[in-house]
Amino acid sequence: MGEPTRSMPSAPDPDDRRRVGMKDVARLAGVSVKTVSNVVNGYIHVTPKTRARVEQVIKELNYRPNVSARNLRQGRSGIIALAVPELDIPYFAELARLVVAAAGERGLTVLIDQTGGNRDREQQVAKGIRDHLIDGLILSPLALTADDLSARTDDTPMVLLGERIHNGPADHVVVDNVTAAKEATMHLAALGRRRIAAIGAQDEAAGETARLRLAGYRQALEEAGLPVDESLVAPVAAYHRADGARAMARLLDAADPPDAVFCFSDLLALGALRTLLERGYDVPPQVALAGFDDIEDGRYGTPTLTTISPDKQQISRQAVELLVERMSGVVQGAAREIYVDHRLVIRESTIGRGM
């Protein structure tokens, strides 16, 4: 009776639920742990015979490498974070899907943070709330300022989406908002619309994106020889459907209502559309409507929505690529700014169905 308390004689090991590790594989295959590691990692200098044997045992024991240990040893986790305002804003949902896919192709796992567009939360995320857990961060900020970013002490690589912060300390991927907004507005003007409203202006402090799209809108009016009527520029608190609906109501209640509206997001446009239809307006004959983002909802509403379609696939891929370059240390220098393509997609809300 060597070990009295150990186990009943029959059962081999009643509580042998220990996770199987390389040690176990190594023992059973009659090799060292490092050799197992080499097999797992596809190291070249392993005899086909040893490799086969090890792989056999791995399958037998259903061995899976422990990611935490690997991460600890290698100093990285293979996880990147994607921080967006809210996942159920369609634009961000579509973006998230693509980012997750793009990251997957590079063997990276994506962890999603929702900031609610809240500045504190965005600051926390940028400052490294997930520190040590993530190798990199893709952040789509709404309220963050350039100062917030400079205050960042964490050195985890970061890529920004949207052009909230120019000349900031981080790479960013953007759409040429000015040109895009201009194209959309020009399209409305080309249709003969004279009183073109804009929905989506925002507080100077809050939205760089809004500022740029507004600038594009104004440039277009000027180029088309149309007067700029400040009463046609409707500010919103946020970019939700409800804001678009309210803004549209205000525009319609005013003295001389618009005959066209350029909304700075599709969600705003869908809200505006709801108000228009509710009040019996025909879209487009009476009012033409254009949005921005090209979310799927816009493709299936009635009427379908004319919109600016940023190349989301390109945005996602670029973001992941920039990030990977920083993470690997291949790229070191100053912040980079990447512009991605966009195009005007003309649908029923501006040109009608009859065609």
Partner DNA sequence: ATCGTTGTATATAACGTTGTAAAGAGGTCC
Partner DNA sequence: GGACCTCTTTACAACGTTATATACAACGAT
Binding site for DNA (CB under 7 A): 18-19, 21-23, 30-35, 37-38, 40-41, 43-47, 49-50, 63-66, 69-70, 72-75
The item of DNA, a second copy, none sharing an interface with residue 215, based on CB under 5 to 8 Å by kind, is: none
Whole-angstrom CA distances from 104 to 301, 317, 327 are 32, 11, 16
Give the strands of the sheet with 342-345, arranged side by side.
Answer: 233-235, 196-201, 260-263, 288-292, 306-310, 342-345
SS3 113: strand
The item of a second copy, DNA, none sharing an interface with residue 332, based on CB under 5 to 8 Å by kind, is: none
To a second copy, the closest distance from the beta carbon of 321 in angstroms equals 20
Euclidean distance between CA atoms 298 and 291, whole angstroms: 9
First-residue to last-residue Cα distance in the chain: 94
Q: Which stretch binds a second copy (CB under 8 A): 26-34, 51-59, 123-131, 315-323?
A: 123-131
Number of residues that bind a second copy (CB under 8 A): 50
DSSP 8-state assignment for residue 18: P
Angle at 350 between CA 345 and CA 354, to 5 degrees: 105
Please tell me whether residue 347 binds a second copy under the rule CB under 8 A. Answer: no
Helices 312-328 and 90-105 meet at what angle, rounded to 10? 50
Radius of gyration of the chain (CA): 28
Please tell me whether residue 332 binds a second copy under the rule CB under 8 A. Answer: no
To a second copy, the closest distance from the beta carbon of 339 in angstroms equals 24
Name the residue nearer to a second copy (CB basis): 192 or 280.
280
Name the residue nearer to a second copy (CB basis): 103 or 212.
103
Residue numbers of the site for a second copy (CB under 8 A)? Answer: 19, 62, 64-69, 71-72, 75, 77, 79, 86-88, 90, 93-94, 96-97, 100-101, 109-114, 128, 130-133, 153, 241, 245, 270-271, 273-274, 277-278, 296-297, 299-302, 353
